[in-house]
Amino acid sequence: MDPTRDKSSANGSHLRTILVADDDPVFRRLVEKRLQSWDYQVVLAEDGDEAWRILRQSQDAPDLIIMDWLMPGIDGLELCRRLRGMRKSFYQYILLISGNDEKHHVIQGLDAGADDYLTKPLNIGELQARLRAGNRILSLQHELIQAREDLRFQATHDSLTGLWSRGAALDLLNCELQRGLRTEAMTGLLMIDLDHFKSINDKHGHLAGDAVLKEVAGRINRAVRAYDFVGRYGGEEFVAILSSCSLADLYSVAQRACDAVRSSPVITDTASFAVTVSIGGAVKKSGSPDLELIASADSALYEAKRTGRNRFVIAPPNLSHPGHRLAVAHE
C-alpha cells in the first residue's frame, strides 16, 4: 500500500493523489489550488485523452478523480465506462462534474460508473464534503487490501522467520522445475540443517531457540542470490531453491550460506551462540520430478551430518537415489 494514500493531515483530509480532468484551464487552476490547500497531491489533465493515458497506468494512478462530463476527445461519460471496464486491483472513486443537473442526466452519469455527481458552478463546501465521502470509501478499501495481503503472507510464509512456508517452497520448486523445462535450465536445491539445535532449546529455552532460528534464517536468506527462494522446511531445517543454477552456482551459494551462518555468534537476550549448519545440495535438469531432487539433496545433507557437520556436500548431477556415491564434503 502507498503510505501517502492514507496519511491524515492536520485538517482531517488524506494525502491522496487526485486527478482533475477538465478542458477549462481557469477551472483546473482554481480547483487545484483549493485541493492543495486541503493537502491533496493534484494531477491535471486538460482533456479526456490525457486523463485516459494517466488512468491506464498500472501503478501510481490516482484513486480519486474529478472529471468534467464535456471534454475534447474522450468525454467524461465514456471515460467512466472505460475505467469501470478495466480490471484493476484497487477501486478508483469518480466524481463527475456537469453543468446539467437534470435527473435523467445525473442517472446517466451514475449508470456510466461515476460514484458521485456535482454541478457547476461548484460549491466549495459541498465539494469538500463529497471528497470526504470518497475518502472514507477508499480508506476502507485500502484497509481491506492490506488485510488481504496480510492473510496471503500468513498463508505462504513461516510466522517465526518470515521465510516461505514448507508448502509454498515446494510449490515454488515445482514451478522452477517446470519453468526450467521450457528454458532448458537447471534447478538447484539446498537442504540446510542447523547443527545441534536441540541442545540450545534444552539448555536455554525455546525463546532463545526462536531467536537463533530467526537470525540464521536471515543470514541464509542474505547469502543466496536475489532471485532464489528460501523456505523453512520444518523445525531447524531450511531449503533454498536456486533457479537457472549450474553446479558451480550451487557450490558457491552453499559455501556462502555456511560462511554466513558461522561468521559471528548469534547474540540473544540470554546468551551468545556459535552456530553452524550442515548443507546437502543437488542440481537437476528442470522438469524432473521434485521428489527426486529433494531425495538427492536430503541424501547429501545426511552425508554432511555423518561426516562431522559444519560443512556442505553436493550430490553429483546424475544422482537419482541415495545409493549413489556423494561428492566430497566441503567445510
Q: Tell me the catalytic residues.
A: 236
Report which secondary-structure segment, H or E, holds 162.
Answer: none
Other beta carbons within 10 angstroms of residue 327's beta carbon come to 18
| Statement: the pTM of the whole predicted model exceeds 0.85 | no
Please give the span between the terminal C-alpha atoms of the chain, in angstroms, as a whole number: 44
Alpha carbon distances (Å) from 197 to 53, 205, 299:
57, 11, 20
CATH superfamily of 166-314: Reverse transcriptase/Diguanylate cyclase domain (3.30.70.270)
Residue 7 parent element (H or E) = none
Domains 3-154 and 166-314 share a fold: no
Q: Say what the pLDDT of residue 16 is.
A: 84
- Rounded to whole angstroms, the maximal C-alpha distance in the chain is 86
Q: Write out the chain's pLDDT in tens, 331 residues.
A: 333 344 444 334 446 899 999 999 999 999 999 999 999 999 999 999 999 999 887 667 898 999 999 999 999 999 999 999 887 778 899 999 998 888 888 899 999 999 999 999 999 999 999 999 999 999 998 898 889 888 988 899 999 999 999 999 999 999 999 888 888 889 999 999 999 999 999 999 999 999 999 999 999 999 999 999 999 999 999 999 999 999 999 999 999 999 999 999 999 988 999 999 999 999 987 666 678 899 999 999 999 999 999 999 999 876 444 444 455 456 6
pLDDT number for residue 288: 62
Cα(162)–Cα(291) distance, rounded to whole angstroms?
Answer: 24
**CATH fold of 3-154:** Rossmann fold (3.40.50)
**Are 246 and 203 in contact, with CB atoms under 8 Å apart?**
no
8 Å CB contact between 322 and 306: no
**pLDDT at residue number 183:** 86
pLDDT at res. 56: 86
- Give pLDDT, residue 61: 83
How many helices (DSSP H) and strands (DSSP E) are in the chain? 10, 12
Domain residue limits, the chain: 3-154, 166-314
List C-alpha distances in Å: 247 to 61, 136, 307, 311, 330.
44, 55, 21, 17, 14
Q: What does residue 271 show for φ and ψ, rounded to 5 degrees?
A: -165, 170
